[in-house]
A and B are shown apart, each in its own frame.
Chain A
Amino acid sequence: MEQPAYQNPLRTGAMRPAELLPWLAAGSGFFLFPDYLQLGAQILIMVLFAMSLDMILGYAGIVSLGHAALFGTGAYTAGILSAHIGWSEPLSGLVIAGLVAGVVGLVCGAVILYTRGLTLLMLTLAVTILLQELANEQEHWTGGDDGLQGVVMQPLFGVFEFDLYGRTAYLYALAVLFVVFLAARAIVNSSFGQSLRGIRENERRMHAIGCPVYRQMLRAYTIAAVMAGVAGALLAQTTEFVALDVLSFERSGDVMIMLILGGTGRLYGAFIGAPLYMILQDQLAKLSPEYWLFGIGALLVATILYAPEGMLGLAERLRAWVRREDS
């Protein structure tokens, strides 16, 4: 076949060397910070959760303040499976939790996505509040305010016990994150992913070129729901506990802040934002248990003012500037 005169003109899907960095960092973290692996596992889980928000917010442009609904659904599904039904095999529990969250996402999305803007925002919020209240009321199943006790995980693959140091938890979360990331990366670089970008950039035009916009958005919402559910399930499984705060407004807000700090619509924003937010939170809370939120707030204000596209956006701008100076 004749080679076209232009070289890979979209350049969206090719793996770049820089993409290895977060994985090298996460991998070396296991050896460098053996005392922080529990925190590390939680960071990886929030990376996954923020990445799932990126799928709808960054790619399809759906602004949701209720993404915790899906995270919490996954967490409670995995927790209840083990605590009440005795299904304590982690991998299958993870898959079931992802599927349940996907179904919840599909049903909620089917209603929510008929709306736009503020109405949509309020509906996502309402769903989370409803689910949290439901979890609060159904004490028999969820433990209500006290949280769900009695979650026990069987060893991973029947071999690797979930240890006190979080070694298994960390590697388990890292492996799941990697697999889900590969899928998410393929999806956002596919024709479907391009179509989501189109909806974000100009929904009117997408209608005018014959795109079934509602169906595409619902697909994206459901995929993001599965990812969020898997993240929630990971948290339940690695901590062997589920608290009501998995369904809280704060969690929805936190994950959005993480994504905005890192940068939306890039998939890797989650890899910057979640660790940045959580490590800062950890350090600031040690420094000043009362005022740590002030530090987070200041960082957010600075980001919005000086790096509205997040840390990755800032990095891209710097790189473009350096190149211009060079030439």
Chain B
Amino acid sequence: MSEPLLEVRDLSKSFGALVVADAVSLTLRPGARHALIGPNGAGKTTLVNLITGTVEPSGGVILLDGHDITHWPQARRVKGGLARTFQINTLFRGLSVLENVCMAVSERRSLSARLWRRADARGDVIAEAMALLESVKLDADAQRQVRELPYGRQRLVELAIALGLHPKVLLLDEPAAGVPSTESHVLLEAVAGLPESIAVLMIEHDMDIVFRFAETITVLVSGAILTEGTPAEVGADPRVREVYLGENAELHGGRR
């Protein structure tokens, strides 16, 4: 089996007496399509924040591509190939869609320290950003300001920015939240079209999407891993039905 791209060992975080991550271990190998599910407040987003470095862990180790990144600053992890999207759109609202994606592309190419050359003269950056926008069917909106787009289309900008970083490991925090079901296929197609080699971890509430996307599912409850397995295994696990799926009337009950 190939070496893991992302390995999380016994990762813990508590705020006082509140334990939000309790010895969580996860392994993503190249090509992984891994879903992280769990009821609201299970600590899924906290786990993403711990892995990306916005929250300092209380204990445990994070390895990215073999490097111990547990104490790396956030920016360095990104340069090391770790990218994320946000559950709530975190975009450059006053800039155009194209500029949003160019931002990621030129940061990845380490151009942002360049003081003198005009950004709009960098045809290579712009062409790459346009190609990314085409891949999420946003090319027609390239010149519009992000804040003018409907929320669901903004979700695609969220994804395009992360893709512009050429990640080895991509963490998607509820990418389809707020996307009308008629448009979620664009998002899924974009995710399905990602290079085989990268590892993707997706937090998602929509079980349709989870079962279509994931090869492995981890169930998180109260900061700890309840179980991990293939979609069939997890779907059949009575404990999972009880704590998570039981909240919905049926397995494909959609969100909440």
Task: Show the binding face of A for B, using Cβ within 8 Å.
Answer: 4, 6, 8-14, 186-187, 189-195, 197-198, 201-202, 204-213, 216, 219
Q: Are B115 and A190 in contact (CB under 8 A)?
A: yes
Taking a contact as CB atoms under 8 Å apart, the answer to whether B118 and A208 are in contact is no
* Chain A residues, CB < 8 A from B127: 4
Instruction: Please name the residue on chain B nearest to A5 by beta carbon.
Output: B130
For the side of the interface on B, what is the size category? 35 or more
B232 interface residue (CB < 8 Å to A): no
CB–CB B119/A13 < 8 A: yes
State the CA gap A14–B119 with chains docked (Å). Answer: 11
**Contact pick for A204, options B75, B90, B94, CB 8 Å:** B90
User: Which of B75, B127, B130 has its CB near the most chain A CB atoms (within 10 A)?
Assistant: B75
A186 in contact with B116 given A9-B142, A195-B107 (CB within 8 Å)? yes
Q: Does B93 contact A (CB under 8 A)?
A: yes
A8 near B120: Cβ-Cβ < 8 Å: yes
Are A209 and B115 in contact, with the CB atoms below 8 A? no
Q: Mark B97-108, 1 if CB is under 8 A from A, else 0.
A: 011001110111
- B94 and A191 contacting across the interface, CB-CB below 8 Å: no
Max count, chain B CB within 10 A of own CB: residue among A11, A13, A210, A216: A210
Partner of A194, one of B91, B93, B103: B103
Q: When chains A and B are docked, how far (Å) is the Cα of A216 from the Cα of B95?
A: 19
CB distance from A5 to the nearest CB of B (A): 9
**Which 7 pairs, one residue from A and one from B, show the smallest C-beta to C-beta distance?**
A210-B78, A10-B120, A13-B118, A201-B92, A195-B112, A191-B111, A210-B75
Give Cα A266–Cα B107 distance, bound, in whole angstroms: 23
| A213: chain B residues within 8 A (beta carbon) | 75
B74 near A: Cβ within 8 Å?
yes
Contacts of B115 in A (CB 8 A): 186-187, 190, 192
Which residues from chain A contact B117 at a C-beta distance below 8 Å? 190-191
B123 within 8 A of A: yes
Residues of B within 8 A of A4 (CB): 123, 126-127, 130
